[in-house]
Structure 1
Amino acid sequence: MNRYEIKEKYPEQIRAFSLWMKQFGYTEATQKEYIREVLCFLQSLEGGPIEEAGKIGVINFLVSKQKTAGESTRNRTLSAVRSFYSALIDFDLAAKNPALEVRKSKTEKNKKPVYLEEEELVQSLDYINGKYRNRNIAIFLLMGYCGLRVGEVHRLNLLNFKKAKGTIEVFGKGRKWNEIPLPDMLKDYLSKVLEERLTPYSTKEDAFFVSQKGRRLSIRQIQKIAYQTFSAFKEHNPKVTDMNLSCHKLRHSFATMMLKKGHDIRIVKELMGHASIETTDLYTHINDEQKKNAMASVNIPMEVIG
């Protein structure tokens, strides 16, 4: 069955999933990706009833994809199928979620997040140029020094910036609000960016960051700003040439920086908006310098063994 036939076969289920993701605040990019994955999953059922796919149906689909994709892709696909069945259960279109019985790959859990050291993060700011430099620097600062996700930057509205209080209100994953205190420098910088903000064409547009066309800056546009900045940064910094840098790596950098400074992991968890402390624990890297310093503190009594 092709994609058109799949949509004709399961229209209610696909529509329910789309509504469910919008209701729970999934980003547009995630919605498109999950719909694409679910359509592929439905194709694998060959027209059979969704509720009869079972655990084996989900595993068969994942195995077929695994031939051309890595472990992280497999886990993302599994997350999409799990979310799909959760939506069907919420809308009384299914009784159970067979994808919950399928384990995620452990490879992803053991993989260290890619991040920039604090001095590298500072250096990357020098490569942000152009007409909207201040706006773009503010975007980098929110991701690299406050840990915001790209979707959270995209959704940021004027009223979310509490200048007098010195905080921003972030609408994150799971439709949860998180209030983040701002460093004084960043609070002042956001105020400056706000003064330079273009007047939107629509009086109803309340986005904090707007494009040159007067509309809310899209996730794709924010990612493009990051891509162009990192491309220029890599050209002049051989140490990071092979690093896969992106908006999310700025978030990784923030978490790593906070933990290296000795801040309580529970506080970092709240700042990052993580549901589980296990997710935050991924950022507790132990580097070679830390190991060297730890071993240098070992005092072997040479007079005893000499």
Structure 2
Amino acid sequence: MSQSPFLIKVRKEIRLRGYSIRTEKTYIYWIKQYIYFHHYKHPEIMGAEEVKSYLSHMSENRSVAINTQKVALNALVFLYHKVLNKPLGDLNFRYATKQRHIPTVLSKTEVQKIISCTSGRNKTIFKILYGSGLRLNECLRLRIQDIDLVQHSLTIRDGKGNKDRVTLLSPSLKMELEQLIDKAKKTQATDNKQGIGPSLPHGLCKKYPNGFRQHKWMYIFPSSGVCTYPDSSTQCRHHLHDSVIGKALRKAVAASGITDKRITCHTFRHSFATHLLQDGRDIRTVQELLGHNDVKTTQIYTHVIGLHYAGASSPLDSLDL
């Protein structure tokens, strides 16, 4: 089914609008699930009622989180509005009620233990995840032009929600990043001799056919091999795959002896936000650094540290017992 003419058409529409490969995979997944749910009926002969039925099914029978339901909604709205040209109108479906869980957060000592069990490139990646509060894919997609070693800042381009933002960079990473930048430039120079370079954002490879030769576009964490652009025979070098870092983290966690917490790469981002709040940083500043649209998303970290209401603490703390 993945190669059906209909899904090929959907993929082309997604790429035409410059969406990321990750978004493409997500939209295709939910469109498939929608078709499966309605017993393989073609979306062309379905509409708002079938979409409403599926979204309500997600909340009533699958107990998904509301954010998951919203992603599925975005995929189906794209399908009907942009591909089939059949606007859905007001769906009035039942929203999911399952709330987000309190995130797992590491103490500063635990962060240090885990990072100490890594080395080289992987160690730098984990330091950035924790020190700058990045999502893993945001870190792996960093290019030379995104790193400012003078202002100690990172520019995150096309982050979640297709937003750009600037976040802080620890000065302690300067030497490591300089070495990685130098190594990346050498890799790029070798690739360029073969007519290969870093993969470029949507459309830029056509607008700037020699852009792959410019150092600013080179990834800081390039993959070990080359690949081809989607729907093209042109070869390029993409960034490191996230599975490589996930595997390295599992080894580091095992070596650290921390067995009572479920730790993923995203845990470093949760820890970054929580530790900033614990150190007295303003929640609006943390919101901006994380790239959250709504401060309510950031407020979940106040629950992690027990400061649910404007820094309020237990009255027991004031007693001399």
TM norm structure 1:
0.76
5+ residue gaps in structure 1? none
Report 1:75-224 matches (<5 A): 75-86=67-78, 88-90=80-82, 93-96=85-88, 101-109=92-100, 111-129=101-119, 133=120, 135-171=121-157, 172-197=159-184, 199-200=187-188, 201-203=190-192, 204-205=197-198, 206-213=218-225, 215-218=237-240, 221-224=241-244
Q: Is 1:63 the counterpart of 2:57 in the alignment?
A: yes
Q: Where is the helix percentage greater, Structure 1 or Structure 2?
A: 1
Counterparts in 2 of 1:121 and 1:70: CA distance versus 1, 3 Å: farther
CA contact (8 A) 2:122 2:248 kept: no
Q: Deviations over 1:35-68 (max 9, x none)?
A: 122112123344255584325544346627975x
CA apart distance, 1:163: 2.1
Deviations 1:252-283 (A, max 9, x none): 11111111212111111110111111111122
2:140 and 2:246 map into 1 onto residues whose CA distance is: 13
Shift of residue 170 of structure 1?
1.0
Q: Which amino acid aligns with 1:81?
A: L
The answer on whether the counterparts of 1:268 and 1:280 sit within 8 Å (CA) in structure 2 is yes
Deviations 1:66-110 (A, max 9, x none): 75x5524x74254133233146425671223566x435433233x
CA distance in 2 between counterparts of 1:97 and 1:42 reads 20
- Cα separation, 2, equivalents of 1:57 and 1:142: 41
Instruction: Indicate if the aligned counterparts of 2:273 and 2:301 stay in contact, CA closer than 8 A.
Output: yes
Shift of 1:17: 4.0
SS of alignment partner, residue 191 of structure 2: coil
Cα separation, 1, equivalents of 2:303 and 2:251? 26
Q: Which residue does 1:16 correspond to in 2?
A: 13
Deviation at 1:143, TM superposition (A): 1.1
Measured at CA, do residues 48 and 193 of structure 1 come closer, stay the same or move farther in structure 2, by a change above 3 Å?
Answer: closer
Give the one of 34, 47, 54 matched to 2:41.
47
The residue type equivalent to 1:202 in the other structure is D
Q: Is the 8 A contact 1:55 1:102 kept in 2?
A: no
Q: Distance in 2 between matches of 1:262 and 1:114?
A: 20
Taking structure 2 as the reference length, what is the TM-score of the superposition? 0.73
2:318 to 286, 298, 306: 298
Q: Is the 8 A contact 1:156 1:207 kept in 2?
A: yes
State the alpha-carbon separation in 2 of the partners of residues 57 and 34 from structure 1.
14
Structure-2 separation of matches of 1:11 and 1:151:
25
1:58–1:98 contact (8 Å) kept in structure 2 = no
Matched, 1:258 2:276: yes
- Contact 2:131–2:169 under 8 Å retained in 1: no
Cα shift at 1:159: 1.2
Of all paired residues, the percent bearing the same amino acid is 22
Q: Name which of structure 1's ranges 178-187 and 291-300 shifts more when overlaid on structure 2.
A: 291-300
CA change 1:165–1:33 in 2 (3 A) is same
- Aligned-pair distance for 1:190? 1.7
Question: In the superposition, relative to structure 1, how do residues 284 and 223 fare at CA in structure 2: closer, same or farther (>3 Å)?
Answer: farther
Mapped partners of 1:289, 1:283: distance in 2: 9
8 A contact 2:103–2:304 mirrored in 1? no
Distance (whole Å) between structure 2 residues aligned to residue 296 and residue 116 of structure 1: 26
How many pairs were matched up?
A: 282
Q: Is contact 2:287-2:295 (8 Å) kept?
A: yes
Note if 1:247 corresponds to 2:265: yes
Cα deviations by residue, 1:87-145 (Å, 9 ceiling, x for unpaired): 6425671223566x435433233x1012222221111111214xxx1x21221112111
Contact 1:152 1:170 in 2 (8 A): yes
Stretches (4+) displaced over 6 A: 288-293
